[in-house]
A and B are shown apart, each in its own frame.
Chain A
Amino acid sequence: GAVVSQHPSWVICKSGTSVKIECRSLDFQATTMFWYRQFPKQSLMLMATSNEGSKATYEQGVEKDKFLINHASLTLSTLTVTSAHPEDSSFYICSAYPRDYIQGTQYFGPGTRLLVL
């Protein structure tokens, strides 16, 4: 089956530092990946759509200069949280769907929990 991995699964960092999170599709090629954020007891909220070889599309209210997304290959998208602050502490999840996908079939990574001190 289609597998999406994320690395790291856990990260703790100091306020002001940058953190990079990787999302990989292990056994399929993904032209599009999505990045979500989930605060405790809240819904998953879409942050941005990552398109291979082009700029990401950000949802309203998400700062593109703070959350840098790079989708350099068909199997890898990265999310960099720049100058992280405690309010950025959250659970970040990516998803991807294969190029020959069935509408609605997204595969989710296991998530990355970020804690900014």
Chain B
Amino acid sequence: KQEVTQIPAALSVPEGENLVLNCSFTDSAIYNLQWFRQDPGKGLTSLLLIQSSQREQTSGRLNASLDKSSGRSTLYIAASQPGDSATYLCAVTQGGSEKLVFGKGTKLTVNP
């Protein structure tokens, strides 16, 4: 059974700092991996999707990497801003299924 773990559970940084969020998964036979953002009491916004054949994806200040063989992904946020404060979720799919298996998330607070 696939399990997704995210470390740390919470992170507080000053504005402008670069930071890394970590995600690991137990079964390396994934189809793709996604990073989402969730604001309090809200739905999810997809940030980056990495196919299993890819090693990284970039969007603006965000960069996600994938090491499928070791079961790890990182989300790098450059020059963090208070507006980046949210919970970041990592999720994987397997075998062409659209079912997402989520981690518990990392709650990020960026202090002005």
Proximity bits, B43-67, A CB within 8 Å = 1, else 0: 1111001010000000000000000
Instruction: Give the distance to chain B from A59, nearest Cβ to Cβ, in Å.
Output: 8
Contacting B at CB under 8 A, from A86-117, are: 91, 93, 95, 97, 103-106, 108-111, 113
Most buried by A among B46, B100, B101, B104: B100
Contact B31 A108 (CB under 8 A): no
A-B contact count (CB 8 A): 58
Q: State which of A42, A45, A93, A105 has its C-beta within 8 Å of the C-beta of B46.
A: A105
Check A108 against B43 for contact (C-beta < 8 Å). Answer: yes
Closest to B99 in A: A46
Main secondary structure of the interface of B (DSSP, over half): strand
B71 interfacial contact with A, CB 8 Å: no
Residues of B within 8 A of A34 (CB): 98-100
Please state if A113 and B41 are interface contacts (CB–CB under 8 Å).
Answer: yes
Whether, in the assembled complex, A44 has its beta carbon less than 8 Å from a beta carbon of chain B, the answer is yes
For this complex, into which size category does the number of interface residues on chain A fall? Answer: 20 to 34
Give Cα A109–Cα B101 distance, bound, in whole angstroms.
17
Answer whether residue B96 sits at the interface, using C-beta atoms and an 8 A cutoff.
yes
Contact status of A42 and B34, CB under 8 A, knowing A49-B99, A93-B44: no
Inside 8 A of B98's CB, which chain A residues have their CB?
A: 32, 34, 97, 103-104, 106
